[in-house]
């Protein structure tokens, strides 16, 4: 199976006047996972697709840690877990965390080859694993990566300015199509 994840929480409010909307972090990731689900329902992909949403990411990856400790599906059947977080903007391309894990090397090679052939992202940066999003606890038990977009335009980060008016979706569909190729 291919598992897609995103977190739907953000920082909430500060008093009655300040709202942290979280459009970039991480309504954009939630929208991407919902779009991948919409496409999977219509196209009936070869692999089973699982779509998971977590809360508690901003409080220390609490939801995804719980999900790993209390599995709802057989981790032995997971071919790849793709976590999407911070998915607005993208003028500079994509960054993939845990890209150096040998268990994801075939997926990273496919992603790089397709990007080179289709010229979708100006760059795909490979980064080592980091406990910076919901993929982290899963990466201890299944092949898992975390994908984010790099470069402007997006609202503030952990800031009330992180709202829809500050987010560009210019590259959204192209990057989403590229990510969906990981499920092949």
d(CA 69, CA 86): 25
CA distance 64 to 58: 11
The mean pLDDT of 158-183, rounded to a whole number, is 87
Cβ atoms < 10 Å from Cβ of 42: 7
Q: Tell me if the domain spanning 2-183 has CATH number 3.40.630.10.
A: yes
Cα dist. 160→6, 90, 156 in Å?
20, 20, 7
pLDDT at 132: 94
Burial of 16 from C-beta contacts in 10 A (0-12 / 13-18 / 19+): exposed
Q: What are the backbone angles phi and psi of residue 146, rounded to the nearest 5°?
A: -125, 125
Give tens-digit pLDDT for 1-15. 999 999 998 888 888
- Cβ(38)–Cβ(44) under 8 Å? no
Q: Per-residue pLDDT for 155 more than 70?
A: no
Six-digit token pair at 141?
Answer: 């038990």
DSSP state of 111: H
Confidence class for position 152, pLDDT limits 50, 70, 90: confident
């Amino acid at each position: 199976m291919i598992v897609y994840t995103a977190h739907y929480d953000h920082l909430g409010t500060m008093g009655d006047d300040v709202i942290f909307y979280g459009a970039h972090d991480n309504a954009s990731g939630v929208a991407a996972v919902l779009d991948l689900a919409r496409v999977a329902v219509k196209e009936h992909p070869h692999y089973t697709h699982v779509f998971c949403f977590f809360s508690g990411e901003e409080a220390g990856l609490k939801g995804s840690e719980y999900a790993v400790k209390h599995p709802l599906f057989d981790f032995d059947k997971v071919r790849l877990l793709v976590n999407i977080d911070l998915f607005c903007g993208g003028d500079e391309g994509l960054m993939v965390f845990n890209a150096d894990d040998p268990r994801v090397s075939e997926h990273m090679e496919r992603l790089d080859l397709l990007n080179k052939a289709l010229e979708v992202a100006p760059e795909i940066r490979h980064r080592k694993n980091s406990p910076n999003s919901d993929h982290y606890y899963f990466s201890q038990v299944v092949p898992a990566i975390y994908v984010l977009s790099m470069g402007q335009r997006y609202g503030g980060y952990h800031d009330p300015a992180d709202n829809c008016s500050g987010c560009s979706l210019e590259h959204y569909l192209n990057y989403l199509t590229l990510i969906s190729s990981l499920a092949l």
